A and B are shown apart, each in its own frame.
Chain A
Amino acid sequence: MSMDENNRPLSPHLQIYRWQLHMVMSILHRATGVALGLGTIFLTWWLMALAAGPSAYETFTTVASSMVGQIILFGFSYGLFYHLLNGIRHLYWDAGQGFEPATVRLTGQLIMVISFAATVGTWLAAYYLLGTL
């Protein structure tokens, strides 16, 4: 009886889960690419303000260091880490490597964890250096 339950086929579940993670990650690569593209407007403002002079730069830093600015920058940094790490996985696939389902799942899960950890670590380091932490 319990043997039977343990041996119940799990594969449909696992396949659906795997397919979902893979789908989500594939869409997220594209979404972060577009989001980072919009982020280049912010990057442009930063460099243009820096070139324009101290008062233009102060306007930029006021916005960038505001609550809303920090949340948006946090989002961009997550997008960059995710896109960068998953981009490396794409390049690895392009080289004909890492196609085994188990490897795809493992690298996918690693990227989900590391991209989040790297984002939080980056911001903790920045706030620590600022002395506000």
Chain B
Amino acid sequence: MAMQTKSGQSGAGDATKHWWTLRLTAVALVPLAVWFVASLVALAGADYPTMIAWVSNPFVTVLLLSMLVSLFYHLRLGLQEIVEDYVHARRAKIVLSVALTFGCFLLAMATIAAVLKIAIGS
């Protein structure tokens, strides 16, 4: 029974889940982002074969995919929060939310497909 508020936001249950998932992805991103930055520093100046070998390492593949899922999920929820703060016209809010969701989804799929292609193809 999804409740609709006057402004077209979803009901209290969804808001709680949204709040919680934004924080859950934030917690996941702390170690993943630190690992990612440290890896890039260690890879500074690496050539193409080295980068491919790095992404193909099973541990790296799993961590990269985990980071990408958390990151785009977190981004989508964060942007949603900003839209809800600043955009009050109902139609504009819905159009913008849908566009941002599609954008995040598309980038998530592109990065995940790229990592999988490298990991499986080499």
Which residues of A approach B to under 8 Å, CB–CB? 30, 33-34, 36-37, 40-41, 43-44, 47-48, 50-51, 54, 57-58, 77, 80, 84, 87-88, 90-91, 94, 122, 125-127, 129-131
18 new A-B pairs (CB below 8 Å) besides A47-B114, A48-B110, A80-B33? Answer: A33-B75, A33-B79, A40-B71, A41-B107, A44-B114, A47-B115, A50-B52, A58-B48, A77-B37, A84-B33, A87-B29, A87-B30, A88-B30, A91-B26, A94-B23, A126-B40, A129-B41, A129-B44
21 pairs, A vs B, C-beta closer than 8 Å? A30-B82, A33-B79, A34-B79, A37-B79, A40-B71, A40-B107, A44-B107, A48-B111, A48-B114, A50-B114, A50-B118, A51-B113, A51-B115, A51-B118, A58-B48, A77-B37, A80-B37, A90-B26, A126-B40, A126-B44, A129-B41
Complex interface: chain A residues within 8 A of B34 (CB): 84
Chain A's nearest CB lies how many Å from the CB of B58?
17
CB distance A125 to B111 under 8 Å? no
> A84, B41: Cβ atoms under 8 Å?
no
Question: How near does chain A come to B119, taking the closest CB pair, in angstroms?
Answer: 10
Smallest CB-CB separation from A58: which chain B residue? Answer: B48
10 tightest A-B CB contacts, nearest first: A51-B114, A47-B114, A126-B44, A130-B45, A51-B117, A126-B41, A54-B48, A130-B44, A47-B111, A129-B44
> Once bound together, how far apart are the Cα atoms of A81 and B51, in whole Å?
24
Q: Which residues of chain A are within 8 angstroms of B8 by Cβ–Cβ distance? A: none
Is the beta-carbon distance between A40 and B51 smaller than 8 angstroms? Answer: no
CB-based nearest B residue for A36: B75
In the complex, what residues of B have CB within 8 A of residue A127's CB?
44
B27 interface contact, C-beta 8 A: yes
